[in-house]
Amino acid sequence: AQSVTQPDIHITVSEGASLELRCNYSYGATPYLFWYVQSPGQGLQLLLKYFSGDTLVQGIKGFEAEFKRSQSSFNLRKPSVHWSDAAEYFCAVGAREQAGTALIFGKGTTLSVSS
Amino acid sequence: DSGVTQTPKHLITATGQRVTLRCSPRSGDLSVYWYQQSLDQGLQFLIQYYNGEERAKGNILERFSAQQFPDLHSELNLSSLELGDSALYFCASSAQSDYEQYFGPGTRLTVT
């Protein structure tokens, strides 16, 4: 069965420091992978996606992620974190369901930014 | 702003009642998805519609139903509500039946 694991429930990073959020997936075929961000009281915003091709993908707000098939991972990175990056981050895998599609989400990682 | 709209933003109702949540997809998107976000279950896929037809069903209770109308807006109906149905309900849309989904702001349902 498809699944996504985000090992870190909560991470605190100093403003200006680098960030890496971990994501591991389980999926039988070539995965479609996503990172979404959710600010308090808000919906989910798509940060970046991986469908195929270059394993390093760039997203919005200075985020990037690297797909590593051998490790079944899709970790999210940012070189310098800003206070406004504090939010909850969700990794997701796109799954074929019956005649349609669905996103299977991890439990999320809450990012706090300290000054 | 994703372009997906959901109404109402908040809903408070009593156990046993029935509610309807509404979603309008982004202009041009044919596919609508519903997800439930709760503290214990996280984000879970409920159901997908594509151009008016049901395409996929996830962990959706029998007390819940949905439909997509000819103008492509969708409604999620929740009946015989229980305390455990309290959650954030998100609608998402995509251009085709594909994976790049854009989410609305959600409807927060509180069952008392």
Closest chain B CA to residue A42:
B105
Q: What is the dihedral of CA B98, B58, A39, A112, to 10 degrees?
A: -110
For B103, the closest of A43, A49, A102 (CB atoms) is A43
Q: Decide: B101 and B46 in contact? Cβ < 8 Å.
A: no
The tens-digit pLDDT sequence of chain A (115 residues) is: 789 999 999 999 999 999 999 999 998 777 899 999 999 888 999 999 998 888 999 999 999 999 999 999 999 999 999 999 999 999 999 887 777 889 999 999 999 999 9
Mutation test of the interface with chain B: which of A5, A44, A91, choosing the one with the most B Cβ atoms within 10 A? A44
Q: Do A98 and B57 touch (CB under 8 A)?
A: yes
Please name the residues between 10 and 69 in chain B that touch chain A, using a CB distance below 8 Å. Answer: 31, 33, 35, 42-45, 48, 50, 55-58
Handedness of CA B91, B93, B98, B99 (dihedral sign): negative
Q: Tell me, what's the pLDDT at B97?
A: 64
